[in-house]
Amino acid sequence: MKNKYEKILLDLERKMKTFELKNKDILKVTEFNLTTIENCLKKTREKIIAEEFYSDQDEIFFFKQIKPKIFAKFIYNFNVLNIENKRPKGSIKGQKKYFENEIEKLQAYFIEHHIFYKYFRGGETYSDQQYFLRKNKSVKIHLDCLGSYLDGEFATSLDSTFAKFIGYELTIEYLKFELSKLSGQSLYPVIPVKSKLTWTGSKIGLIELIYAIYNSKVINYGETEIKELAAFFEQSFNIDLGDYYRAYIEIKNRKTNITKFLDFLKENFLQRILKFDE
């Protein structure tokens, strides 16, 4: 049954990706995505109401792992569309202030709902039956679920909150990426340096590595911008990473083996150590 629900998500992502590859206009992409996600949610709702879940665990899996990810894509695209429509047309300084304020607003949600965010980030399961079964739905659990509370057949106490956590995290990543581009324009001019080294692995593997380094805060005590790191690797290994933010979103949305390239590096390093220990 899990594969059945995962296919809904995969088909949705495939449709959006196909459109995005042919269109560079962010407003057209977000508008297309919103319509596509809305249709997906409507069809999925009909399917869920028409068919019974085989078990409580199947229902928990759907409302904890599948529906929030679909709805999160709607939240993310809606936020990006709204952000870009209201984006200041003036100075870089004004745009940076605008993005910083937007990040602060989104982060306030995590602080306000820190108990559930901790449950979400920690991958906890001890209250899943209470949070993700429709029969156990209760407005007393979380007032933020009021919006979905009216739809008793397609909502649980916390699925919309989990969707917001995912959607807001993606939106913050988008805002940080836009900030890094603005900082790159004003503070970090790229100086071309011809390197004799060439990256011969996959591009997405290198992007995975760059984001791992960035999030580990091991360069300049974590004060380095992602754009600086990307530019450094591009110059050092003679590669054009393209839109590495979109690639990062693809990595983040992997269903299995999220750290594919990092695992590959670890495996080969361990093999070398074991080889010389023999």
Using one digit for the tens of pLDDT, what is the confidence trace for 198-207? 899 999 999 9
Mean pLDDT to the nearest integer, 72-95: 92
Indicate the average pLDDT of the chain: 86
**Cα–Cα dist 208/247, whole Å:** 9
- Lowest mean pLDDT across 55-59, 151-155, 189-193: 189-193
Decide if pLDDT at 133 tops 70.
yes
Decide if pLDDT at 71 tops 90.
yes
| Angle between the N-to-C axes of helices 2-22 and 26-50, in degrees from 0 to 180, rounded to the nearest 10 | 160
Q: Which helix (H) or strand (E) holds 130?
A: helix 128-131
| CB distance 153 to 134 below 8 Å | yes
Q: Is 115 helix (H, G, I), strand (E, B) or coil?
A: helix
**pLDDT value at position 150?**
65
Decide if pLDDT at 185 tops 50.
no
- What would the DSSP string read from start to end of 146-214? HHHHT-TTS--SSHHHHHHHHHHHHHHHHHHHHHHHHHHHHT--------S----S-HHHHHHHHHHHH
Decide if pLDDT at 147 tops 60.
no
**pLDDT value at position 151?**
75
- Given pLDDT bands bounded at 50, 70 and 90, which one contains residue 188? very low
Decide if pLDDT at 190 tops 80.
no
**pLDDT value at position 56?**
95
Decide if pLDDT at 186 tops 50.
no
**pLDDT value at position 144?**
67
Decide if pLDDT at 146 tops 70.
no
State the residue for tokens 């023999």.
278
State the residue for tokens 């879940």.
53
| CB distance 117 to 182 below 8 Å | no
**pLDDT value at position 189?**
43
Using one digit for the tens of pLDDT, what is the confidence trace for 205-232? 999 999 999 888 888 777 777 888 888 8
Decide if pLDDT at 82 tops 90.
yes
- What would the DSSP string read from start to end of 248-275? HHHHHT-SS-TTHHHHHHHHHHHHHHHH
- Given pLDDT bands bounded at 50, 70 and 90, which one contains residue 76? very high
**pLDDT value at position 217?**
82
**Cα–Cα dist 192/231, whole Å:** 9
State the residue for tokens 């599948």.
66
Decide if pLDDT at 139 tops 70.
no
- Given pLDDT bands bounded at 50, 70 and 90, which one contains residue 89? confident
Taking residue 63's Cβ as centre, other Cβ atoms within 10 Å add up to 27
| CB distance 45 to 154 below 8 Å | yes
- Percentage of the chain modeled with pLDDT above 90: 49
Decide if pLDDT at 193 tops 60.
no
